[in-house]
Amino acid sequence: MRINGSAALDMCSVACGRINLYYEYAIHSWDIAAGAVIVKEAGGHIQDPLEKEFSLTLGRVMAGNPHIVKNFLAVAKK
């Protein structure tokens, strides 16, 4: 696990392939909005970790490769 102190920076690390997955709870929309756009534009996947439809207002985010996100959620459910 790694935290750089900036959600947007961590999400940019996902977008460029430096890290595989980023997730966080209790985060403000202004902390993840730019990062979400960058991840999507890079071909990454953004979703709510509780598997609801992603929204900036939920305060939860998960970003990564779609396959890694799916596998992480399967392991986390156990």
In the predicted structure, residue 2 carries a pLDDT above the cut 70: no
User: In degrees to the nearest 10, what's the CA dihedral of 61, 67, 73, 75?
Assistant: -140
Contact assessment for residue 20 and residue 14, using Cβ atoms and an 8 Å cutoff: yes
Q: What is the pLDDT of residue 42?
A: 95
Return the DSSP state at 53: P
Nearest Cα to Cα of residue 44 among 2, 74, 15, 4: 15
pLDDT digits (tens, 9 = 90+) for 6-33: 899 999 999 999 999 999 999 999 999 9
The answer to pTM > 0.75 is yes
Number of structural domains the chain divides into: 1
Q: What is the pLDDT of residue 8?
A: 92
By residue range, what is the domain housing residue 67?
7-77
Q: What are phi and psi of 6, to 5 degrees?
A: -140, 120
Instruction: For residue 39, tell me if it sits in a domain.
Output: yes
Q: What are phi and psi of 28, to 5 degrees?
A: -85, 150
Q: What percent of the chain stands above pLDDT 70?
A: 97
Q: What is the pLDDT of residue 34?
A: 95
CATH number of the domain enclosing 35: 3.40.190.80
